[in-house]
Amino acid sequence: MAKAIVNPPKRTLMGPGPSDVYPEVLEALGRPTVGHLDPYFIDLMDETKELLKYAFRTKNQLTMPVSAPGSAGMETCLMNLIEPGDTCVVCVNGVFGGRMRDIVERIGGTAVVVEDDWGKPVDVQKVEDALKQHSDAKYVAFVHAETSTGARSDARELVALAHTYDCLAIVDAVTSLGGIELQVDEWEIDAIYSGSQKCLSCIPGISPVSFSERALEVVQKRSSKVKSWFLDVNLVTQYWGSGKSRSYHHTAPVNSIYALNQSLRILKAEGIENAWKRHHENHLKLKDGLEELGLEFAVEESHRLPQLNAVRPPDGIDEAAVRRQLLDEHNIEIGAGLGALAGKTWRIGLMGYASRQENIDKLLKALRQVLSTRQATAG
């Protein structure tokens, strides 16, 4: 018998993702693998799509999980809609808005960039000014919940503005799905993508996407082929379509879809509105505890994400050493700042299964101990 070689430590994941995975999801992951065209799996695919529609609050027929992480979801939405020469207003207030811009330019589109300071929401007036100046714009792309900063932008208002100027709205919901209010149909979002490893508390590696009928019509009327074969929804929907007749496109990550299905079942059993409420209430508990420790938030309360808390480390403290001590001595992972906020913030996640009182208490106790020791040493 071969020796077990995979034996990871048991961490409490309270960073920007992945989040703690539900035990039931890990159990589902270990169920027997079937073929990717097995009748059982085809039924499970249909069920998973319906559960994703529930999570997104949509009836969009083209709602499915892409067999790759959230960045592939981003490429799926942008590459299927945008053609070379198209103009897209891209809102950049953190890392992932910048990634959207990069992809638009790689496609051959023109990215009209609307920039805001990291930690601030997208400025709606700036977006409107850009749309007025660029009447040829066909798309507005933005991040609903910017994972790199912990800031939330007003998705409803930005989508409505895009439509006022006859543009389609492309939305990054990697960190927002399941954690804060998100209404794809009510807000009339045209294309949206997310990730499995954040508030869904599934394993990493799957990206749910959804396209409105309006967006799908644009894809179907393209004048050029989608630049990616693997992410071309015209092709992949022949596999992730409906009914018993499916055409081979790729070998789906069968066990990962088991895991996603289970995480979505848990979300539906809790109720999506209850999940939003739980994330908010636990954020308030964490906020009280962090402020008792003298820590300040890097994002104003009016646009602060409850599931991803950006906090300023105390002055005179080696923030990286604190994170490492939390990991080494307490098995707790929190995240570092990125880009303009590198070394200036901690990103503390309360996503999905990680958003519970037990984790809040554990982190606050450990952080109090670590900071007390380091501040005493510094003094």
pLDDT, tens digit (0-9, with 9 covering 90-100), for 140-174: 999 999 999 999 999 999 999 999 999 999 999 99
Encode pLDDT of 329-354 as tens digits: 999 999 999 998 999 999 999 999 99
Within this chain, do residues 243 and 289 fall inside the same structural domain, yes or no?
no
Within this chain, do residues 211 and 298 fall inside the same structural domain, yes or no?
no
Domain boundary, last residue among 216, 234, 268 = 268
- Answer whether 212's CB lies under 8 Å from 90's CB: no
In a domain, 171, yes or no: yes
- Answer whether 254's CB lies under 8 Å from 28's CB: no
Distance CA 13, CA 53 (A): 27
In a domain, 14, yes or no: no
In a domain, 1, yes or no: no
Within this chain, do residues 83 and 213 fall inside the same structural domain, yes or no?
yes
Within this chain, do residues 256 and 315 fall inside the same structural domain, yes or no?
no
Find the mean pLDDT for residues 275-284: 98
Tokens linked to 42? 């085809």
Domain boundary, last residue among 268, 299, 324 = 268
Model pTM? 0.96
Q: Number of folded domains in the chain?
A: 2
Within this chain, do residues 91 and 205 fall inside the same structural domain, yes or no?
yes
Within this chain, do residues 176 and 187 fall inside the same structural domain, yes or no?
yes
In a domain, 10, yes or no: no
Within this chain, do residues 262 and 243 fall inside the same structural domain, yes or no?
yes
Among 41, 21, 45, smallest CA distance to 32 is for 41
Encode pLDDT of 356-379 as tens digits: 999 999 999 999 999 998 776 665
Tokens linked to 291? 């402020």
pLDDT at 233: 96
In a domain, 2, yes or no: no
Please, which pLDDT band fits residue 6 given cuts at 50, 70 and 90?
Answer: confident
Domain boundary, last residue among 214, 246, 268 = 268
State the DSSP string of 120-169: S---HHHHHHHHHH-TTEEEEEEESEETTTTEE--HHHHHHHHHHTT-EE
Residue 296, domain CATH: 3.90.1150.10
pLDDT at 376: 65
Within this chain, do residues 278 and 338 fall inside the same structural domain, yes or no?
yes
E strand or H helix that includes residue 65 = strand 62-66
Average pLDDT, the chain: 96
Within this chain, do residues 63 and 207 fall inside the same structural domain, yes or no?
yes
Task: List the Cα angle 165/170/176 in 5-degree steps.
Answer: 125
- Answer whether 211's CB lies under 8 Å from 191's CB: yes
Within this chain, do residues 208 and 89 fall inside the same structural domain, yes or no?
yes
- Structural domain of residue 123, as residue ranges? 23-268
Encode pLDDT of 129-140 as tens digits: 999 999 999 999
153 residue type, one letter: S
In a domain, 17, yes or no: no
Q: How far is the CA of 340 from the CAs of 131, 344, 379, in angstroms?
A: 27, 8, 29
User: Which position has the token pair 């103009």?
Assistant: 87
In a domain, 9, yes or no: no
Within this chain, do residues 347 and 214 fall inside the same structural domain, yes or no?
no
Distance CA 208, CA 259 (A): 13
- Is the pLDDT at 271 greater than 90? The verdict is yes
Distance CA 45, CA 37 (A): 10
Residue 125, domain CATH: 3.40.640.10
In a domain, 57, yes or no: yes
Within this chain, do residues 285 and 242 fall inside the same structural domain, yes or no?
no
- Answer whether 101's CB lies under 8 Å from 258's CB: no
334 residue type, one letter: I
E strand or H helix that includes residue 235 = helix 233-236
Please, which pLDDT band fits residue 115 given cuts at 50, 70 and 90?
Answer: very high
Please, which pLDDT band fits residue 2 given cuts at 50, 70 and 90?
Answer: low
Distance CA 337, CA 94 (A): 11
